[in-house]
Amino acid sequence: MPSGLSVLALLAGVVTPTIARNVVIPRQEAQSSSSSSDATIPFSALSSALASLGPAVTTFRSNSSSSSSTADPSATFTSTTASSTSEVSGRSSSTTRSDATASTTTAGKGPQSDCSTTTDLGWIPSGLPTPTLLPTTNANAINATRTGPLGNHNGGVDLGSDYSSQALDKFWDDWVSELGTSVTKYHRKKVGDVQQPPFREVYCPPQPYPLPEDPPALFPDYLMTSPPENVLTQYKFPDGFLFGWATAAQQWEGAVRDDGKGPTVWDWAARFPGFIVDNTTSDIARLAALGGNVYSFSAFWTRVLPWGSAESPVNQAGIDFYRNLAEYCWSQGVEPVLTLFHWDTPLALQLKYGGFASEDIIDDYVNYAETMFTAYNGTIKKWVTFNEPVVFCSQSTFPGNLTSLYYPYTCSYHLTLAHAKAVRRFRELNIQGEIAFKSDNFIGVPWREGNEDDQRGVDRHEAYQIGIFAEPIYNSGDWPQIIKDDLPPEILPRFTDEQKELIKGTADFFAIDGYRVGYVTAPPAGFEACIANTSDPLWPVCNQVNFYESTPYAWGLADFADPRVPWLQNTWRYIRGFLKDLTQRYPTNGGIYLSEFGFAEPEENEQAYKYIVTTDTKRELYFLSYLGEVLKAIHEDGTDVRGTFAWSLVDK
Ligand SMILES: *[C@@H]1O[C@H](CO)[C@@H](O)[C@H](O)[C@H]1NC(C)=O
Ligand SMILES: *[C@@H]1O[C@H](CO)[C@@H](O)[C@H](O)[C@H]1NC(C)=O
Ligand SMILES: *[C@@H]1O[C@H](CO)[C@@H](O)[C@H](O)[C@H]1NC(C)=O
Ligand SMILES: *[C@@H]1O[C@H](CO)[C@@H](O)[C@H](O)[C@H]1NC(C)=O
Ligand SMILES: *[C@@H]1O[C@H](CO)[C@@H](O)[C@H](O)[C@H]1NC(C)=O
Ligand SMILES: *[C@@H]1O[C@H](CO)[C@@H](O)[C@H](O)[C@H]1NC(C)=O
């Protein structure tokens, strides 16, 4: 049960009226190595930073400089002020295009000389938001992705080997269509009107980056058991601890059809014009100002290889874009972490051979990975091959002749081999740094303590949700025994001995996206009946997840976030045991990272009053309790946690 005392102690960190106003958390200088000796972030500073976090995006009011200044949209980033940034532009200039050219054709450049011209910082302007319901998923669109050209064909669409910009334009026009219209329009409707970003230049954020004023206290002093400076004071994050935020390319990059980028399956399935708030790279400066020292982002495969395949040309503008982003991060004292694949399969490869349904994806992925390794050797020091492969393989579009019975396992097989081969190349090429993939989900808690069926349910949950990739990569080179016992080789292709050797040991650290937890019990039909019945809705995992205890009181397992995102819970009671269990199951020398975690304030979107939106109580409580438990995992359990990445830095 939760201890009221510790909750209140943590709460004290949230509601303190004593936080210094406009606190700026001192941050590290740009480091050439990730193992810095002065990266300790005191928990009280963390409390202050986090207490500012929610309101930070909504209540900033200092806008005095904006009315008098005029931002120059033609400004470029060729001049620099700090020595660290000179070094950055020095390295940038070794690319094939000149800085001046680059600045007129890509967003996300390094800092410009005169930072005083920055105006609007991107906080929500004053005034009440108009309450609107969140858009719900368009049923037509979902059906169309299943029954449209991608859902029905078995690959075999030959786009030829004309890789000219005219051919790329034609590819976009022929295959990327509008969302939200009738199903029939999905079939090769010519649109050609992919939204362009509303700007081409990026303004420089102010330094030091201003943080918002503190919110007023939410609770009276007598509800606090100790002042915030006394909360968990004995614990500091260790040297080199990575504390920051994460995003995926599809979430924020504005260049949908720009800079020579090719379409991905996401461009095809849904129109997603991205944006960067207020034309600045402030998001990274804001991250740094809040005390973050790491930023994790994904790259679009098609921004670097518009056609995806190994024989197709590299798009230099894409290579330059991610280099600029990474170098700008370093210039802010923020380490960039790059994920190669966050589910954005190149559309050309989906059409050609069905994406991850085909073994052809392996060499094409490895070629893409090698292109990136070589381009950012020494600039990126932490790499992620695949984001949440279980989710990707169970949800992505599959060719018509691979039903949902086969596709997830065909995909898992090819994806594991692609990961392993890419990591082998990484090591052969002596790329400087570490590499792994990101797992998700949870191990689970037996619904009834000591009950064998429930424990079996937990073991099955772990095997299918985490072990399916972690077991081969961290331990044996082979699928978990539980899954091999369930699924014949026609469904789950088996690895050869040679492949097992290839796969085993291809990760330097463990990364888990830790959002939720559930109690697990046997399926209603029983294990054996469910495992034998591919029509059972719980097949093949064959267990049942409950979110409440088995006692008559049926207490919930964790506090839930907004009901529209049921996969988010405040799992502070679970996280320590979870981290410890994972490090025992999948040992590495590189420690464990919480590569994503986060929470959504319930009904935030429906609130009509700004003060309700900015109060953000549950989210603040989430960050403090969850991160407080992570500190305890490090100091009381000896778990080798090396970093936390809040999801996400921007809206999704
Ligand atoms: C800041 O000032 C500019 C110019 O006066 C105005 O357009 C903008 O809306 C202001 N931003 C905020 C957050 O008030
Ligand atoms: C989508 O497909 C499902 C299942 O085939 C069907 O029941 C539903 O009516 C379809 N929805 C639309 C909007 O066509
Ligand atoms: C599906 O079709 C593709 C392309 O025609 C073929 O290569 C593949 O073997 C087929 N898969 C199955 C399971 O029939
Ligand atoms: C962003 O830049 C564009 C083009 O330079 C400009 O029209 C727009 O007003 C800018 N937006 C903000 C919020 O500064
Ligand atoms: C990566 O950098 C290391 C150290 O400088 C070097 O030994 C290696 O050859 C580089 N690899 C590639 C592919 O550039
Ligand atoms: C398999 O599961 C389906 C769906 O629950 C059910 O209708 C069917 O009766 C089950 N078959 C057997 C043999 O139990």
540/182: higher pLDDT: 540
| Residue 75 pLDDT level (bands cut at 50, 70, 90) | very low
Q: How far apart are CA 547 and CA 554, in angstroms?
A: 9
Which ligand lies nearest the alpha carbon of 123?
A: 1
Q: Collect all residues with Cβ–Cβ distance below 8 Å to 438 and sequence separation of at least 6.
A: 339, 384, 386, 387, 388, 511, 512, 513, 595, 596
Ligand 3 centroid distance, CA of 404 (Å) = 14
377 Cβ below 6 A of ligand 5: yes
Using one digit for the tens of pLDDT, what is the confidence trace for 248-286?
887 777 667 778 889 887 776 544 232 233 434 557 888
Please report the pLDDT score of residue 14 as a whole number: 28
Q: How far apart are CA 68 and CA 250, in angstroms?
A: 35
Please report the pLDDT score of residue 233 as a whole number: 84
539 Cβ below 6 A of ligand 6: no
Please report the pLDDT score of residue 106 as a whole number: 31
User: Which residue among 57, 59, 60, 63 is best mutated to probe the pocket of ligand 1, counting the most ligand atoms within 8 A of its Cβ?
Assistant: 63
Distance from chain centroid for Cα 483:
27
User: Which residue among 150, 152, 153, 154 is best mutated to probe the pocket of ligand 3, counting the most ligand atoms within 8 A of its Cβ?
Assistant: 154
- Catalytic annotation present for 388: yes
| Residue 289 pLDDT level (bands cut at 50, 70, 90) | confident
Ligand 1 centroid distance, CA of 605 (Å) = 23
Q: How far apart are CA 381 and CA 639, in angstroms?
A: 23
Ligand 4 centroid distance, CA of 286 (Å) = 19
Residue 378 pLDDT > 60, yes or no?
yes
Ligand 6 centroid distance, CA of 536 (Å) = 6
Q: Which of 511, 336, 344 is nearest to 438 (CA)?
A: 511
533 Cβ below 6 A of ligand 6: yes
**Percent of the chain clearing pLDDT 90 (strictly above):** 48
Which ligand lies nearest the alpha carbon of 142?
A: 2
Is there a contact between 510 and 436 (Cβ–Cβ < 8 Å)?
Answer: yes
Ligand 1 centroid distance, CA of 32 (Å) = 38
Q: Give the residue whose CA is nearest to atom 13 of ligand 1.
A: 125
DSSP bridge partners of 551: none
Domain boundaries, the chain: 4-133+140-515+566-647
Q: Residue 583: helix, strand or coil by DSSP?
A: helix
Please report the pLDDT score of residue 329 as a whole number: 93
Please report the pLDDT score of residue 56 as a whole number: 25
Is there a contact between 308 and 43 (Cβ–Cβ < 8 Å)?
Answer: no
Q: How far apart are CA 256 and CA 266, in angstroms?
A: 10
Is there a contact between 47 and 237 (Cβ–Cβ < 8 Å)?
Answer: no
Q: How far apart are CA 256 and CA 471, in angstroms?
A: 36
User: Which residue among 377, 383, 425, 435 is best mutated to probe the pocket of ligand 5, counting the most ligand atoms within 8 A of its Cβ?
Assistant: 377
What DSSP line would sit under 42-97, residue for residue? BHHHHHHHHHHHHHHTT-----HHHHH----TT--S---SSHHHHHHHHHHTTSSS
Residue 467 pLDDT > 90, yes or no?
yes
Is there a contact between 605 and 592 (Cβ–Cβ < 8 Å)?
Answer: no
Ligand 6 centroid distance, CA of 480 (Å) = 26
- CATH T-level assignment (fold) for domain 4-133+140-515+566-647: TIM Barrel (3.20.20)
| Atom of ligand 4 at shortest range from CA of 122 | 13
Ligand 3 centroid distance, CA of 156 (Å) = 10
Tokens describing residue 319: 């290579």
Q: Is 214 left (phi over 0), alpha (psi -120 to 50) or beta?
A: beta
User: Which residue among 118, 196, 203, 279 is best mutated to probe the pocket of ligand 4, counting the most ligand atoms within 8 A of its Cβ?
Assistant: 279
Tokens describing residue 123: 């906080």
Residue 350 pLDDT > 60, yes or no?
yes
Q: Give the residue whose CA is nearest to atom 14 of ligand 5.
A: 374
Tokens describing residue 324: 């600029």
Compute the chain's Rg from CA coordinates. Answer: 25
DSSP bridge partners of 323: none
Q: Residue 382: helix, strand or coil by DSSP?
A: strand
Mean of the per-residue pLDDT values of the chain: 75
| Atom of ligand 3 at shortest range from CA of 402 | 13
- Ligand 4 pocket by C-beta < 6 Å: which residues? 73, 120, 198-199, 278-279
Ranked by mean pLDDT, the top range of 222-236, 458-472, 596-610 is 458-472
HSE-up of 76 (CA within 13 Å, CB side)? 12
Which ligand lies nearest the alpha carbon of 430?
A: 5
Residue 173 pLDDT > 70, yes or no?
yes
Please report the pLDDT score of residue 100 as a whole number: 29
Q: Give the residue whose CA is nearest to atom 6 of ligand 2.
A: 143
Mean pLDDT, residues 68-96 taken together: 26
377/209: higher pLDDT: 377
Please report the pLDDT score of residue 221 as a whole number: 74
Please report the pLDDT score of residue 614 as a whole number: 76
Residue 317 pLDDT > 70, yes or no?
yes
Ligand 3 centroid distance, CA of 364 (Å) = 18
Mean pLDDT, residues 639-644 taken together: 98
- Please give the helix or strand (H or E) that residue 351 lies within, else none: helix 347-353
HSE-up of 393 (CA within 13 Å, CB side)? 27
Using one digit for the tens of pLDDT, what is the confidence trace for 19-73?
222 222 222 222 333 333 333 333 343 444 333 333 222 222 222 333 222 222 2
Q: What are phi and psi of 313, to 5 degrees?
A: -75, 155
64/120: higher pLDDT: 120
529 Cβ below 6 A of ligand 6: yes
Mean pLDDT, residues 341-369 taken together: 94
Query: Which amino acid is present at 97?
Result: R
Q: Which of 201, 388, 596, 604 is catalytic?
A: 388
Which ligand lies nearest the alpha carbon of 276?
A: 4
Residue 180 pLDDT > 90, yes or no?
no
| Residue 194 pLDDT level (bands cut at 50, 70, 90) | low
Q: How far apart are CA 250 and CA 255, in angstroms?
A: 10
Please report the pLDDT score of residue 528 as a whole number: 97
Which ligand lies nearest the alpha carbon of 147?
A: 2
Question: What is the 8-class DSSP label of residue 556?
Answer: B
Please report the pLDDT score of residue 252 as a whole number: 73
Task: Give CA separation, 626 vs 266, 392, 575, in Å.
Answer: 32, 26, 7
Q: How far apart are CA 434 and CA 372, in angstroms?
A: 14
- Please give the helix or strand (H or E) that residue 266 lies within, else none: helix 265-269
- Please give the helix or strand (H or E) that residue 445 lies within, else none: strand 445-446
- Residue 122, classified by CB atoms within 10 Å of its CB into exposed (0-12), middle (13-18) or buried (19+), is middle
**Percent of the chain clearing pLDDT 70 (strictly above):** 67
Q: Residue 588: helix, strand or coil by DSSP?
A: coil
184 Cβ below 6 A of ligand 2: no
User: 96-110, 151-165, 502-516: which range is least confident on average?
Assistant: 96-110
- Ligand 3 pocket by C-beta < 6 Å: which residues? 154-156, 399, 401-402
| Atom of ligand 5 at shortest range from CA of 431 | 1
Q: How far apart are CA 234 and CA 446, in angstroms?
A: 33
Q: Residue 516: helix, strand or coil by DSSP?
A: coil
Q: What is the reported pTM? A: 0.75
Question: What is the 8-class DSSP label of residue 463?
Answer: I
Dihedral sign (CA 559, 561, 566, 568)? negative
Is there a contact between 615 and 565 (Cβ–Cβ < 8 Å)?
Answer: no
Q: Residue 321: helix, strand or coil by DSSP?
A: helix
| Atom of ligand 5 at shortest range from CA of 430 | 8
Ligand 6 centroid distance, CA of 535 (Å) = 6
Q: How far apart are CA 356 and CA 397, in angstroms?
A: 9
Which ligand lies nearest the alpha carbon of 378?
A: 5
Please report the pLDDT score of residue 203 as a whole number: 63
Task: Give CA separation, 568 vs 78, 116, 123, 441, 514, in Å.
Answer: 43, 40, 25, 11, 9
Q: Residue 596: helix, strand or coil by DSSP?
A: strand
439/104: higher pLDDT: 439
The reply to whether omega before 93 is within 30° of 0 (cis) is no
Is there a contact between 342 and 387 (Cβ–Cβ < 8 Å)?
Answer: yes
Q: Residue 127: helix, strand or coil by DSSP?
A: coil
User: 9-23, 582-596, 598-612: which range is least confident on average?
Assistant: 9-23
Residue 639 pLDDT > 60, yes or no?
yes
Is there a contact between 619 and 537 (Cβ–Cβ < 8 Å)?
Answer: no
Is there a contact between 114 and 205 (Cβ–Cβ < 8 Å)?
Answer: no
Cα(first)–Cα(last) distance of the chain, in Å? 33
Please report the pLDDT score of residue 263 as a whole number: 85
Distance from chain centroid for Cα 576:
21
Ligand 4 centroid distance, CA of 198 (Å) = 7
Q: Residue 341: helix, strand or coil by DSSP?
A: strand
3-state secondary structure labels for all residues of 137-175: CCHHHHHHHHHCHHHHCCCCCCCCCCCCHHHHHHHHHHH
The reply to whether omega before 125 is within 30° of 0 (cis) is no
Residue 606 pLDDT > 90, yes or no?
no
